[in-house]
Amino acid sequence: MRERRFSPASYGGGPSSALPERKQTILKMTRTSTNLGVDGGRLWADIMALANITDAAAPYTRRSFSKLFLDGRQWLTHRFHEAGLATRIDTAGNLIGRIEGSDPQAGTIIIGSHSDTVPSGGRFDGIAGVAAGLEIARVLRERNIVLRHALEIIDFLAEEPSEYGVSCVGSRGMSGKLTAAQLQFSNQQGERLEQALARVGGDASRLAQARRTDIRAAFELHIEQGTVLEGGGIDVGLVTAIVGITRIEIVFEGAAGHAGATPMHRRHDALVAAARLVDRVRILAEEFAGRGKGYFVATTGVLEAKPNASNVIPGTARLVIDARSELREDLVEFRERLDKESLGVAQAASVERAAFQTLSDALPSACDEGLRHLLKAAAARLGLSFVDIASGAGHDAAFLSQIAPAAMVFIACKEGASHCPEEWSEPEEITAGTAVILETVLAFDRGGDQSFVPAAPH
Ligand SMILES: [Zn+2]
């Protein structure tokens, strides 16, 4: 694929001085740009600079494990060094910038998100959270503040679903949830995840070393990917819980045959079974969502037919279904119903259901109440408005919450658009969210550790 870097000028990127006039006005006029203690212009410039490292044919694309991804990480590593952070890549492939605290026994505060994107994604999903952490590290250094805790800024590996069928590779690894089976998953070219991990500096054979017990607080800033904050004119969303996500692969095997010479009653058309199942997934999801017990959505996002030729009856069809809920029991029930439905459509279409496999299964997770309390107090001190909000998207924080107190701050994004080039957050919105985390890190560091009991999945 053709790759080239955008010059900042050609894509509206670059430092804040290159912002469109409208944005500059907003930066000057809002309170958030002047008295929140973080440098919004510098933060914005980082986000735009990373956006420039993209597949030129499909902005904004920086797929995990790709050359562009490694280019982006090289740029980030350089910025981490400039901020006085010591960098390393752990065995789960996470890029970590660290500054030691004054008390070696105090443990570590982490701030992180991800620098990878979906194909033709946006400039802010994940990236804003990494840039926010970097800006916080810089501010602390400039103010000569040495925290009691060590501070780590983390770019988690492959948060978006990777070519290997697994998302949140780095945060799964850090929390001990990356399984031996997942490491054997392979991409279209036959490369296994464990091999890809080695290519980006990780090491599957020493994966246990990435597991952490020293994290006392984990923070992630992220765009909302919805419209609650924008609609309500609210500065920040304080996340209550992150949905669990189950991804299931189903394969139907029929018989490929001549599209002209095979009579209708002799056909074993795998795509017919798949098409009927797509419709059943939609109907089931509407039923679950309609119960009103908790947030529930399901999507058939992958549908492949083979040989995919106009004059050949499809002999094989493969689907990947993504189901999300706040409630664990809904995901379990949905999987059972999908199992029955897929056997039913296979029988009706005279094909075989050759595979029914759970590719990944992330539990719903609650954000830490103690950290949420500190975030609320920080937002109030800064004069920012806030609201409690559930996350319908998965995030690295969901895995971190299984090993440490974790919390997320959402910021508004224009019309809820995400995973597309139109994705947009205003500079002062990102600045406000970053300031809330900075304030909270300072308060947490002063206040000492809380005792942490991992939340039971609900
Ligand atoms: Zn993200």
Cα four-point dihedral sign 305, 308, 313, 315 = negative
- DSSP letter at 204 equals G
Q: What angle do CA 402, 403, 407 make, to 5 degrees?
A: 70
Domain count, the chain: 2
Q: Shortest CA distance to 111 belongs to which of 219, 236, 212?
A: 219
Within-domain flag for 116: yes
Whole-number Å distance, alpha carbon 158 to ligand 1 midpoint, is: 10
35: pLDDT confidence band, cut at 50, 70 and 90?
A: low
Residue 112 pairs in a beta bridge with: 154
Q: Are residues 76 and 30 in the same domain?
A: yes
Whole-number Å distance, alpha carbon 310 to ligand 1 midpoint, is: 38
Question: What pLDDT is recorded for position 366?
Answer: 87
Q: Are residues 107 and 140 in the same domain?
A: yes
Tokens representing 10 are: 């050609």
Q: Are residues 51 and 62 in the same domain?
A: yes
Whole-number Å distance, alpha carbon 434 to ligand 1 midpoint, is: 16
Within-domain flag for 454: no
End-of-domain residue from the set 310, 341, 362: 362
- Report, as an integer, the average pLDDT of 275-283: 98
Q: Are residues 206 and 319 in the same domain?
A: no
Q: Are residues 193 and 327 in the same domain?
A: no
The amino acid sitting at 283 is: I
Within-domain flag for 132: yes
CB 269 within 8 A of CB 313: yes
353: pLDDT confidence band, cut at 50, 70 and 90?
A: very high
Q: Are residues 250 and 163 in the same domain?
A: no
- What average pLDDT does the structure give for the chain? 90
Question: What pLDDT is recorded for position 31?
Answer: 41
Rounded to whole angstroms, what are the CA distances from 244 to 89, 118, 250, 404, 444? 27, 20, 20, 17, 28
Q: How far apart are CA 278 and CA 319, in angstroms?
A: 8
Does the structure show a pLDDT above 50 at 37? yes
377: pLDDT confidence band, cut at 50, 70 and 90?
A: very high
The amino acid sitting at 249 is: E
- DSSP letter at 457 equals P
Whole-number Å distance, alpha carbon 8 to ligand 1 midpoint, is: 23
The domain that contains 286 carries what CATH number? 3.30.70.360
Which residue range(s) make up the domain with 235? Answer: 8-243+364-447
- DSSP letter at 104 equals T
Query: 């969901």: which residue's tokens?
Result: 398
More confident residue, 109 or 36: 109
Q: Are residues 342 and 399 in the same domain?
A: no
Does the structure show a pLDDT above 70 at 12? no
Whole-number Å distance, alpha carbon 124 to ligand 1 midpoint, is: 8
The model scores a pTM over 0.85:
no
Within-domain flag for 319: yes
CB 124 within 8 A of CB 413: yes
Tokens representing 401 are: 């919450």
pLDDT digits (tens, 9 = 90+) for 198-216: 999 999 999 999 999 999 9
Does the structure show a pLDDT above 80 at 11? no
Q: Are residues 355 and 378 in the same domain?
A: no
The amino acid sitting at 77 is: T
Whole-number Å distance, alpha carbon 396 to ligand 1 midpoint, is: 8
Q: Are residues 389 and 315 in the same domain?
A: no
The domain that contains 394 carries what CATH number? 3.40.630.10
Q: Are residues 204 and 323 in the same domain?
A: no
Within-domain flag for 455: no
Whole-number Å distance, alpha carbon 222 to ligand 1 midpoint, is: 7
Q: Shortest CA distance to 435 belongs to which of 142, 229, 139, 152?
A: 139
Does the structure show a pLDDT above 50 at 192? yes
Within-domain flag for 2: no
Within-domain flag for 376: yes
Q: Are residues 173 and 271 in the same domain?
A: no
Within-domain flag for 202: yes
pLDDT digits (tens, 9 = 90+) for 59-102: 999 999 999 999 999 999 999 999 999 999 999 999 999 999 99
pLDDT digits (tens, 9 = 90+) for 112-136: 999 999 999 999 999 999 999 999 9
End-of-domain residue from the set 295, 327, 362: 362
Phi, psi of 330 (to 5 degrees): -70, -40
Q: How far apart are CA 133 and CA 223, in angstroms?
A: 14
Q: Are residues 439 and 354 in the same domain?
A: no
Whole-number Å distance, alpha carbon 408 to ligand 1 midpoint, is: 12
End-of-domain residue from the set 328, 362, 396: 362
Question: What pLDDT is recorded for position 225?
Answer: 95
